[in-house]
Amino acid sequence: MKTYKGSCHCGKVKFEVQSELKPTIDCNCSMCKRKGTILTFVSPESFKLISGEDSLTHYHFNKHVIDHTFCKVCGVTSFASGKDPKGNFMNAVNVRCLEDVDLNSLEIVHVDGKSF
Ligand SMILES: [Zn+2]
């Protein structure tokens, strides 16, 4: 496991995540396709919000099972929270917001979220 630092664009929202970044996901649902996020899923134990709780705006749609968050200052989505199908809390981290990640080296799985 590697520890990555992540942030929004303006730097209000900062976090650390422990992950192998495998797999990373490119999803075609109505939200992801618009935002262009590349996601990786981590457990709450592997995710630490360092700052910016009060700068996060929350957005919910469809079944409201995912807490989509973005920075209210710069608008960048760096992570979302929700439950997996088994009911475990998970964080979906936008790999594009992590430092020191070579996006070209990632193994990206294309998920058909549009059909879920
Ligand atoms: Zn920001």
Provide, for the chain, the percentages of residues in helix, strand and coil under a 3-state DSSP scheme, each rounded to the nearest 5: 20, 45, 40
User: Residue 52 pLDDT more than 90?
Assistant: yes
Q: How far is the CA of 26 from the centre of ligand 1 (A)?
A: 22
CA pair distance 111, 1, nearest whole angstrom: 24
User: Residue 5 pLDDT more than 90?
Assistant: yes
Q: How far is the CA of 115 from the centre of ligand 1 (A)?
A: 31
Q: Determine the pLDDT at residue 50.
A: 98
Q: How far is the CA of 107 from the centre of ligand 1 (A)?
A: 27
Q: How far is the CA of 54 from the centre of ligand 1 (A)?
A: 11
Q: How far is the CA of 70 from the centre of ligand 1 (A)?
A: 8
Mean pLDDT of 37-64: 95
CA pair distance 8, 110, nearest whole angstrom: 24
CA pair distance 69, 100, nearest whole angstrom: 22
Q: How far is the CA of 58 from the centre of ligand 1 (A)?
A: 13
Which stretch, 25-29, 88-92, 94-98, has highest mean pLDDT? 94-98
Task: Identify any residues that bridge with 39 across adjacent strands, giving them in sequence order.
Answer: 25, 94
Q: How far is the CA of 11 from the centre of ligand 1 (A)?
A: 5
pLDDT digit string (tens) for 20-30? Answer: 999 999 999 99
Helix (H, G, I), strand (E, B) or coil at 68: strand
Q: How far is the CA of 73 from the centre of ligand 1 (A)?
A: 5
Q: How far is the CA of 98 from the centre of ligand 1 (A)?
A: 14
How high is the mean pLDDT of the chain?
Answer: 95
